[in-house]
Structure 1
Amino acid sequence: MKSFTVFTAACCLALAAAACSTSGTGSAGAGGPGQVLTLAAAGQGPAKAAIEAFRKANPGVTVKTTFTEDDASYQQQIRTQLSSGTAPDVFRLWPGGGNTMAVRDLGKDGMLADLSGEDWAGGLSADLKAVTSDPAGKVVAVPVTIGAIGAVWNDQALQASGLAKPTTWPEVLRFCADAKAKGVVPFALGLKSAWVTQLVPYALTASLVYGPNPGFTQAQKDGKASFAGSAWRQALEKYVRMRDQGCFNDSPNGVGYDEQMRMFGQGQALGVVHVLSAVQSAREYAPAGTTFSMTPFPATDSAAGTYLPVSVGIVYGVNAKARNPELARRFIRFLASPEGQALYATASGSSPALSAPGFRADALQQPVLDAVEAGRSTLYPDQAWPGPKVQQEHLTSIQELFNGTVDVPGVLRRMDDAFASAR
């Protein structure tokens, strides 16, 4: 596998549902002050697997955990705890910038411990370092997974439909019409969960904007480009066309992530345009034996013009005021190890961010590696944006776009205004 040096931005996306849970794992009789680690994460499945492996490798250690399944709730919760001095020792955060729980934002506020002295930090590529460092250049987070956004397929439902995976934009529209004629949803969409709103635009702009022009965001920062004056307009117009031509289920704004994954897992929808880690949720609803695969989502008339949005997905950091900093660093070292990387990537349906010889790519992950190898991958755009306001405006505006209360030029104008105010 080639080094993932193409990644200079990061995903702000993760599994989302709607609940918070608190639990603890550890050995009987454990729990002395030096042996208790507190940890929080958004999405508990992969984190639980890593915690259990860490605990087994460190007998006597107790890990007290808090899991919040909704990203927005998690971000608000941990931000509040960091401000009040009650945050856990270790917590999941987002790479790069773009939201209030991202590396650069937390690092700027002095809320993350300096991890630059760790052995794994010294081996980071320049691009991985860019999304795990604070504004002063100190590494403050460990990259754990690589994620992607593509067309994810329920293989058995697709086979039963007799339809083929589209490889060009005209084929997407034909696929939607043919699926609808067969009485099945082409792509499940759950815009009630605000973070899902950005996935189709990111998939489309990979081929329309950022693949052809990797320097687009920098040109925006230099005042030489804008959302409204770019192929972002084409991307959002295609998003609306998909809606109007029946590519999605009815009333996407009334459908949440969990219902979206239920439809997809049970085969009521043939596919989703989503982060690959969402498959972990779809499997909870899928009949035994259901398999899933992924293809890059096309946006042009040529299959050769398709790019795949790929980026660092999950990162973890240490609270600058951790009660048990040494144990926290030990856990971070485990996440950076080949064992920790392979375990977390496998459990989350992602690829490892660092070296993990034991990792084996499947039908979901191999296209990611192939796209990177072929130079057909782009970055998630939000983490290169100058602040969280741009993404927040994007999420809200897409919901309004689907409600019909704003048009495409209006969405782009709002995003340009947010970008300008954050520069």
Structure 2
Amino acid sequence: MKVSMKAAGCVLLAGLSLAACSTAPDSGAGGGGDTLTILYPKDFQAALEPVVKAFEKKYPDTKVDVNYVSGDVTNVVGTQAQAGTISDLFITQPGTGGAMTVHTLAGQGKLLDLSDSPWVADIPKLWQSDMQSKGKTYAYPGTLQGLGGIYNMTKLKELGLEIPKTWSEVLGLCKSATKHGVYAYGQGLNDPDGPQMMFLALSGTLVYGPTPDFSTQLKQKKTTVPDSPWKQVLEKYKELNDAGCFGKGVMGRTRQQGTDEVAAGKALAAVDVGAAIAPMQKAAPDSEFTIAAMPATDNPADTYFPALPGFTLSIDADAKNPTAAKNFLNLLAEPENINKYAKGYASVPVIPNDSVKPPANLAAFNKAVADKKASKLADWPNPKVNEVAQQGVQAIFLGKDSVDGVLKKMQDAFEG
């Protein structure tokens, strides 16, 4: 499961393939009349189906024709959008940086302006820009998943240990794990995306939670990477390694191997995106897993839970049935429907509501979202910075570079 910082919301995807979809003229009646066409990934069919049923019950004059596809969803959306053959309503990605992102497609005039929709005012400020282009809203936000420590609760209870709430408790967990013949965090540094997981988790509390406009400050030269809390992020990451928190063989371990170790009870947790819970649960069906924010200070009130929005939903600028498409999004935004939808993604709604009842393993994440203690992931203006940071972590652990040296390289990459 690969995480791309340019399209972090796509982290849950396996691929999607092209299939034909039908369209019908807008009669203007009820839900828009006739047929509403939707392009959606088959992997998450279970999330959309309850909403489709609710829509057809409310608007019996409108048939919903969903094209559930398997394959490369980015290619499908990009190709069909450019060709003018896309469905009325279709899946997009939040933010910028790809062929199917809201910013890209809106900039090309491919998306319908949804700024007058009733749910727009409820989008949390933190995520508004991911749904917008030039101040206008072009997507319904959907769901969020967290990035934090995914703990094997069964193993923790067996050893009489608890999820840490402070930095000192994190180090204490590492020490206790070693005494019990296991290790604390099954991180995989021999992986294209493995090294970033821990620094993304720590940077939520140290950088992007308290300073959500950090990237803007960098652009405006109000700060630099070496002079920022990123120094603490890398220093704490090194402290974890020096304390034996990652066990032996971390430099040769992949993310998959790390999560397998957690499922097997050889490691207590792995810092990763929430989607990693499912394969752990499949590997160890009798064990209980939960995700929690990674502390970075000794004050629990400081802790932020990094989050990333998943797929968004947009309407084709030339939709055959825009009335029905808008009504579908409005219905999806109702608490009863968005809560069922979020369950299909094993996630929580971007727009919080009082009636959401997440599973126990997502309770802490849902509370963080509701309490406005969620933070964005690092959104470097130049994605090369993240690559340099990942390589830098490996170099620090191998003794081939220093924290200060890596920070300088990150700054150079940002300026480059």
Compute the TM-score of the two structures, normalised by the length of structure 2.
Answer: 0.77
Provide, for residues 377-412 of structure 1, a one-character-per-residue CA deviation record: whole Å limited to 9, x for no partner: 2521434x4x4x33x430464046326576544543
Structure 2 match to 1:379: 375
Counterpart pick for 2:69 among 66, 69, 76: 66
Counterpart pick for 2:53 among 43, 53, 56: 56
Structure 1 match to 2:289: 292
Q: Unaligned regions of 5+ residues in structure 2, if any?
A: 1-5, 25-33
Provide, for residues 35-83 of structure 1, a one-character-per-residue CA deviation record: whole Å limited to 9, x for no partner: 4735244xx55x3123322443438533222245xxxx65466445545
Letter in 2 for 1:354: I
Letter in 2 for 1:170: S
Is 1:20 the counterpart of 2:15? The answer is yes
Q: Unaligned regions of 5+ residues in structure 1, if any?
A: 1-9
In 2, are the aligned partners of 1:338 and 1:354 still within 8 Å (CA)?
no
Structure 1 match to 2:276: 278
In 2, are the aligned partners of 1:98 and 1:382 still within 8 Å (CA)?
no
Provide, for residues 95-144 of structure 1, a one-character-per-residue CA deviation record: whole Å limited to 9, x for no partner: 33466644334333334332224333355455553331112x22111011
Alpha-carbon distance change, 396 to 255 in structure 1, aligned in 2, over 3 angstroms = farther
Partner Cα separation in structure 2 for residue 128 and residue 13 of structure 1: 12
Q: Cα distance, 1:201 vs. partner?
A: 1.4
Partner Cα separation in structure 2 for residue 14 and residue 32 of structure 1: 27
Give SS of 1:20's match.
coil
Partner Cα separation in structure 1 for residue 39 and residue 66 of structure 2: 7
Counterpart pick for 2:155 among 151, 154, 157: 157
Partner Cα separation in structure 1 for residue 211 and residue 308 of structure 2: 17
Q: Cα distance, 1:342 vs. partner?
A: 0.2
1:59-98 matches, within 5 Å, as 60-67=63-70, 75=74, 78-79=77-78, 82-83=81-82, 90-97=89-96
Is 1:106 the counterpart of 2:101? The answer is no
Letter in 2 for 1:402: Q
Alpha-carbon distance change, 267 to 14 in structure 1, aligned in 2, over 3 angstroms = farther
Partner Cα separation in structure 2 for residue 250 and residue 74 of structure 1: 38
Give SS of 1:228's match.
coil
* Higher mean displacement: 193-202 or 321-330: 321-330
In 1, are the aligned partners of 2:7 and 2:98 still within 8 Å (CA)?
no
Alpha-carbon distance change, 23 to 358 in structure 1, aligned in 2, over 3 angstroms = farther
Q: Cα distance, 1:179 vs. partner?
A: 1.8
Partner Cα separation in structure 2 for residue 61 and residue 131 of structure 1: 27
* Higher mean displacement: 401-410 or 235-244: 401-410
Give the aligned CA root-mean-square deviation in angstroms. Answer: 3.8
Tell me the number of residue pairs that the alignment of Structure 1 and Structure 2 aligns: 393
Structure 2 match to 1:178: 176
Provide, for residues 19-48 of structure 1, a one-character-per-residue CA deviation record: whole Å limited to 9, x for no partner: 4254989xxxx967564735244xx55x31
Give SS of 1:131's match.
helix
Is 1:37 the counterpart of 2:48? The answer is no
Counterpart pick for 1:188 among 186, 189, 204: 186
Compute the TM-score of the two structures, normalised by the length of structure 1.
Answer: 0.76
Alpha-carbon distance change, 162 to 400 in structure 1, aligned in 2, over 3 angstroms = same
Partner Cα separation in structure 1 for residue 321 and residue 194 of structure 2: 36
Q: Cα distance, 1:240 vs. partner?
A: 3.2
Partner Cα separation in structure 1 for residue 125 and residue 376 of structure 2: 17
Letter in 2 for 1:382: A
In 1, are the aligned partners of 2:50 and 2:341 still within 8 Å (CA)?
no
Q: Which has the larger Rg?
A: 2
